């Protein structure tokens, strides 16, 4: 059985779909602080599979030990964690407790039950302000906010764990910018409150839930002055996890992979792509730059291609069309009417 922590979240849901499609037996632990149980029912609907679900917090050690004693867990995909850059600046202790302490409890319980295969959800944010693009895994790392520091610290804890005990099989996946939704339109991103990220905000403008998009700066040294990012379809990202899991389960090791497409798109290019995919206009207003933003950030994904046999296949049009299908069928995400 594979345990997915945070499996009720946006990316976690899509990983569950692809694991079930691959024939894995899966369990999810999620405290539902930023996700909904309904999403797991939809994953079961899409795949015809079954998910064993535990509504628990990773900080609850006894609950976690009970899961490990009830099931033969072969590996863990660790997605659970808070992920808002803005919130992490105002609530650092909450972020350190939820992201770091929870991971320490998980790793201790895994050790207690001799489960030593983990796929960790990291982020391109660990590259800080990259000196140039495309980015390879050997680039210098640095964190410029508490959220990024939690990701970097966990990566270092995992490296130290591997150095201390080479029986571990550790795969660290650095996500670039995951967007899109399952082509069925049944699951997708459903952020609580006002989205910090570009795509969910653009979708709300297209739906008429917001008046306009604020474009944070158009004076960057990029194709049109707006920020460039490596947007990757969430299904491609999920398939990258399945490949990483398959490989990690074949033997011990410690590897880091960029999961990106290798292509960068600007804010305005994404807005245009979304307008043509949705047939809706997305009015916007350009303001000053957002604190902490970089001009460009996109991956060199060749290591994952070579070592995992994985390559992102979906286009920016797929990402926009799938997002629109999900949002237009579920204008309030999983929360009906809100």
Active site residues: 147
* Residue 141 contacts ligand WQD per CB under 6 A: no
Residue 210 binds ligand WQD, judged by CB under 6 A: no
DSSP per-residue string spanning 155-201: HHHHHHHHHH-TT-EEEEEEE-EEE---TTSS-----SSS--SHHHH
Contact stretch for ligand WQD (CB under 6 A) within 45-53, 108-116, 152-160, 207-215: 207-215
Residue of minimal Cβ distance to ligand WQD: 227
Percent helix, percent strand, percent coil in the chain, to nearest 5 = 40, 15, 40
CB of 100 to ligand WQD, least distance (A): 16
Check residue 206 for interaction with ligand WQD (CB under 6 A). no
302 lies in the binding site for ligand WQD (CB under 6 A): no
Note whether 35 and 189 are within 8 A (CB): no
How many H-runs (helices) and E-runs (strands) does the chain carry? 12, 14
Beta bridge partners of 179: 233
| Binding status of residue 174 toward ligand WQD by CB under 6 A | no
> How far apart are alpha carbons 83 and 103 in whole angstroms?
14
| Binders of ligand WQD in range 221-240 (CB under 6 A) | 227, 229
- β-pairing, 26-29 with 51-54? parallel
Q: Are strands 213-216 and 284-287 parallel, antiparallel or unpaired?
A: parallel
Query: Which position among 267, 277, 299, 304 is part of the footprint of ligand WQD (CB under 6 A)?
Result: 267
In this chain, which of 168, 201, 257, 265 binds ligand WQD, going by CB under 6 A?
201
**Strand 296-297 versus strand 228-229 pairing type:** parallel
Cβ 44 to ligand WQD shortest distance, Å? 26
Q: How many residues make contact with ligand WQD (CB under 6 A)?
A: 19
Region near ligand WQD per CB under 6 A, out of 63-71, 94-102, 185-193, 214-222: 214-222
Asked if 293 touches ligand WQD (CB under 6 A), the answer is yes
Interface with ligand WQD, residue 82, by CB under 6 A: no
């Amino acid at each position: 059985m594979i345990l997915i922590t945070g499996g009720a979240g946006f990316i976690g849901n899509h990983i569950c779909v692809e694991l079930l499609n691959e024939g894995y037996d899966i369990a999810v632990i999620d405290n539902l602080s930023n996700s909904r149980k309904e999403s797991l029912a939809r994953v079961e609907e899409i795949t015809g599979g079954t998910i064993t679900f535990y509504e628990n917090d990773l900080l609850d050690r006894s609950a976690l030990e009970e899961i490990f004693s009830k099931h033969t867990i072969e590996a863990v995909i660790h997605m659970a964690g808070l992920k808002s850059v803005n919130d992490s600046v105002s609530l650092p202790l909450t972020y350190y407790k939820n992201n770091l302490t929870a991971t320490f409890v998980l790793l201790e319980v895994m050790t207690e039950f001799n489960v030593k295969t983990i796929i960790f959800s990291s982020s391109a944010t660990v590259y800080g302000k990259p000196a140039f693009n495309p980015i390879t895994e050997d680039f210098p790392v640095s964190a410029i906010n508490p959220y990024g520091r939690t990701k970097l610290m966990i990566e270092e804890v995992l490296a130290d764990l591997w150095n201390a005990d080479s029986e571990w099989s550790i795969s660290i996946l650095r996500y670039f910018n995951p967007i899109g939704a399952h082509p069925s339109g049944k699951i997708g991103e459903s952020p609580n409150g006002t989205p910090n990220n570009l795509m969910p905000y653009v979708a709300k403008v297209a739906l008429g839930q917001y008046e306009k998009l604020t474009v944070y700066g158009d004076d960057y040294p990029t194709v049109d002055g707006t920020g460039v990012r490596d947007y990757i379809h969430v299904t491609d990202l999920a398939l990258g996890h399945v490949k990483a899991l398959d490989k990690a389960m074949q033997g011990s090791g410690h590897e880091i992979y960029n999961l990106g497409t290798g292509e960068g798109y600007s804010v305005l290019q994404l807005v245009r792509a979304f307008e043509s995919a949705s047939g809706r206009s997305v009015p916007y207003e350009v303001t000053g730059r957002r604190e902490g933003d970089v001009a460009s950030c996109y991956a060199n994904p060749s290591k994952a291609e070579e070592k995992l046999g994985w390559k992102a296949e979906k286009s920016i049009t797929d990402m926009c069309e799938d997002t629109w299908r999900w949002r237009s069928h579920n204008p309030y995400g999983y929360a009906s009417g809100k």
